[in-house]
Structure formats: C-alpha cells, structure tokens
Structure 1
Amino acid sequence: MSDDYTGDVRAGGEPAVRALGDDLTLTKVSVGPMDNNAYLLRAGSEQLLIDAANDAATLLDLIGPAGLRTVVTTHRHQDHWVALAEVVKATGATSLAHADDAPAIPVVTDTLRDGDVVEVGGHALEVIHVVGHTPGSVVLAYRQPGGRVHLFTGDSLFPGGVGNTRGNKDNFTSLINDVEHKLFDRFGDDTWFYPGHGKDSTLGTERPHLAEWRARGW
C-alpha cells in the first residue's frame, strides 16, 4: 500500500491508502466543496480521524463498523469541522482541539496543548502548536518506528508555502517562525506532510524555499 501512495485525491473520488507500519494504516479522502482533506488512522480495532471536514456520510462510511475513538480538529475554521457534530453523535468519539481554538468549534470534549500526545492503537502522535493561521492551529507528528516522520499540518503548511494569514504581518511572522523552528528545524528532509487541502509534500522538497516564503510575506 505504501509503495504506490501519491496522496492525490479529489472530492467524490477514491481515497488514498498508505501503510505507516505493520499495523497502522492511513486513509486520505477529500470531502466538500472546498476539497478538504480528512485523514483516518487505523491501528487494530482503534481509529482516529483528523478533521471531520465535511460530508458526514462519506466519513462514516469510511469509518465503518469498527467505530471511532477520537477526532482531532486541526483548527477552528468551519470548513474543517462541518461534519464534526454528526460524526461525534454517530460514533461517540472524543473530540479534541487546541484550547485556543476550542471555543469556536461546536463539539469539543477535551482540549489540547503543545506537547500533548494523542494515541491510536498504542501509536503516539505529538501535538505541535503553530500559531498564525489561527491562534490554536495544531500539527500532529507521528514517528514511524525505524522510519520517517509523518506530519498532519492542517492549514499551517502546504506545498509552496505556509497557510493564509490574510495579510496580517504579525500572524505571518508567527506562523513562518513556528513552521520553521517547530517543524523544519526538528524533522528531516524525508518527513512527509499531509495538509488540510490538496497534495502532500516532504520537508526536503519545501526546505529550499523557506527564505523565499519569508521574503514574500505569505
């Protein structure tokens, strides 16, 4: 499953599936009119969903009879949680978001802080707080045993640049600093990242352009 994974998905199309280890599987699907990415991690009998973005029926079909333990919302923008209430109601899943964005998200049962760990089937994902796209945006980092790091970046990092800060210079400075120091300075070039919209990339592919992003201011 991992050899031919590209991460290229489209709303209404087939999901992309990747093995992240012996017993951890990633499924990426695009949903909704804004082509949001949602990611389902499955390990044994446990599942974790990153961003119940839209189209609850598609997400619940993807989740299937195994049920859902946890939903993590990467940030407070509505296109990333349209289906959250329906998914939580149907599955009874715990709904997590960073404390600084939680008040703007309709269903949050517990809050996250920088350095927290979210687990699925015994696999740990580190919570990394990156401020700028929103005050409470988070990245989830999974370290594959003996392999690469996988980052779920929400709208904080995309191929070609950081997330939209709508011309706010302070927010852009905060975001580019956090992305550079908390992601690029910590993790190697083979680190694969999965954004909230569109295609995936690696830190190595994007690293040469950090100075360019900073200079252009977006």
Structure 2
Amino acid sequence: MTYKVKGTCVSVEFLVLGMLENNVYLISDGTATMVVDPTCKADKIVEALNGRKLDAIILTHRHSDHVGAAKELADKTGATVIASAIDAPMICGDEKLPRDDTRFNPCPVDRMLADGETLKLGGMPWKTIMTPGHTKGSMCLFLDPEHTDNPVGTPVLISGDTLFCGSIGRTDFAGGDLNDMRRSLKRLSSLPDDTVVLPGHNDQTTIGAERRRVFAYYA
C-alpha cells in the first residue's frame, strides 16, 4: 500500500508473524523507515527491510506479541526504540509484568511518548494518542495530512490492539479496563472517516467503516 502524505509517498508494508498472527508494519517515506510492533523473527523483519536503514521501532503497548523481537531487532539495526511513557517501564524490565502476561526479553526504550506529543520521522509527523483500555499505556499514532504541506493526503492511524476491523482489543487482561477503552474509542471516533486504520491483528480498515460498527456500539 502507498499513501500520499506531505507531497511524497508513504509506503506501508506488513508481515503477519507469530502464533497470534500479528501485523508487523514497515512504514517509510523514503527518508525514514519505522517498524511497528515486532512480535518475533527479527531476521525476517531485517530481510523485509531489503537494505533500508531502520530508524525507529514503535511499540504500541507492552504485550509480548507486540514487543517480543524488539530487543533483537534493535541490537541488529541500532534503531531507536519508542513506546509510551506508561508501558515503557515494563517493556524495559524496570517494572515487573503482571502475572498473566507472557514473558519476553526486556528491551531498553530510548524515547517515551506522552499524549499529544508529535513523533517526527523523516517527513512523517505522527501525533501520539494515548488509548488506555487494552493496557494502561496503549497508544495509537496518527499521521494527519492537514498538519503537513499536502492537505490532499490520506490520514493514517496505527491502532495497535485498541481498534480492529469490526472489533476492539481485549480488556480482561491485567491493566485492561472497558471504561477506559470506551473513552479511547470515543477519541478515535473523532478522526476523519477516510483515515486508514492499521491494526495489530486482522484486516486493515477505516474510521468510517468502524463508525458503523465498533463506534456505534462502544463509543
């Protein structure tokens, strides 16, 4: 997939990896490349980069199926590891994981994001939207062409395990909360209908499609 943002083309590639069939995204605008939620098989992710320099590893939340290969991938590429300030202490091992979490190799987090903060990678300004519900520190990243030089571009949302195609992330794990999830979904429902949603699992979708399904029920 290729989306036009800021007068250039933002390419979105993905691998489906792991027992839970995670979507591992490789996103690039030609000047910077990021990988989102490397679940496993760091070598396969490096192979998919096809020689491109990896600038950032984005972790939408602390669950093992989203961070399992982060440490190995960072060691192999030297990429900056980025997560929310809330989930980062568990990702890097400074805080213990809840008893029902699957263990993973802790990964140092180089940059911690807060709500509303902009992460600039190449020509891509990603706005941080904190979306607790699946975990306390779950976050989404929103690329809004209205905040760039190209107002006709396509908005893109990296939704992690907050919003799926026709569904939402589970709230029954430690740190999950359905009321928090409802509030997070209400925030996402304010995004433009044509926003392309890149979820952590299953098919890609749009905010408009989920307005008729998920948001009508939860938000």
- Please say if residues 3 and 153 of structure 2, whose CA atoms lie closer than 8 Å, have aligned partners that are also in contact: no
Residue 44 (structure 2) pairs with residue 58 (structure 1): yes
Gaps of 5+ in 2: 92-105
Q: Which of 76, 87, 101 is the matching residue for 2:87? A: 101
For 1:116 and 1:82, locate their aligned partners in 2 and report how far apart those are by CA, in whole Å: 25
Q: Give the corresponding residue for 1:30.
A: 16
Residue 205 (structure 2) pairs with residue 201 (structure 1): yes
TM score, norm. by length of structure 2:
0.83
Query: Percent identical across equivalent pairs?
Result: 32
Q: Which of 59, 71, 79 is the matching residue for 1:73? A: 59
- Please say if residues 134 and 173 of structure 2, whose CA atoms lie closer than 8 Å, have aligned partners that are also in contact: no
Q: Which of 180, 188, 194 is the matching residue for 1:183? A: 188
Residues 109-152 of structure 1 show CA distances to partners (whole Å, capped at 9, x for unaligned) of 12110111122222111111001100110101012331331101
Q: What is the CA-CA distance between 1:167 and the residue it aligns to?
A: 7.9
SS at match of 1:65: coil
Gaps of 5+ in 1: 1-16
Q: Give the corresponding residue for 1:118.
A: 119
For 2:3 and 2:193, locate their aligned partners in 1 and report how far apart those are by CA, in whole Å: 20
Residue 130 (structure 2) pairs with residue 129 (structure 1): yes
For 1:164 and 1:142, locate their aligned partners in 2 and report how far apart those are by CA, in whole Å: 25
- Please say if residues 82 and 112 of structure 2, whose CA atoms lie closer than 8 Å, have aligned partners that are also in contact: yes
Q: What is the CA-CA distance between 1:166 and the residue it aligns to?
A: 1.2
What is the total number of aligned residue pairs between the two structures? 196
For 1:213 and 1:24, locate their aligned partners in 2 and report how far apart those are by CA, in whole Å: 31
Q: Which of 145, 154, 161 is the matching residue for 1:155? A: 161
- With over 3 angstroms needed to count, the CA separation of the structure-2 counterparts of 1:197 and 1:44, relative to structure 1, is same
Residues 149-176 of structure 1 show CA distances to partners (whole Å, capped at 9, x for unaligned) of 11010000011222100189x8111111
Residues 67-114 of structure 1 show CA distances to partners (whole Å, capped at 9, x for unaligned) of 111111000000001111111001101101001101111221121101
- Aligned CA RMSD, in angstroms, stands at 1.9
For 1:70 and 1:153, locate their aligned partners in 2 and report how far apart those are by CA, in whole Å: 17
For 1:124 and 1:87, locate their aligned partners in 2 and report how far apart those are by CA, in whole Å: 23
Moved over 6 A (4+): none
Q: What is the CA-CA distance between 1:212 and the residue it aligns to?
A: 2.5
For 1:167 and 1:140, locate their aligned partners in 2 and report how far apart those are by CA, in whole Å: 22
TM score, norm. by length of structure 1:
0.83
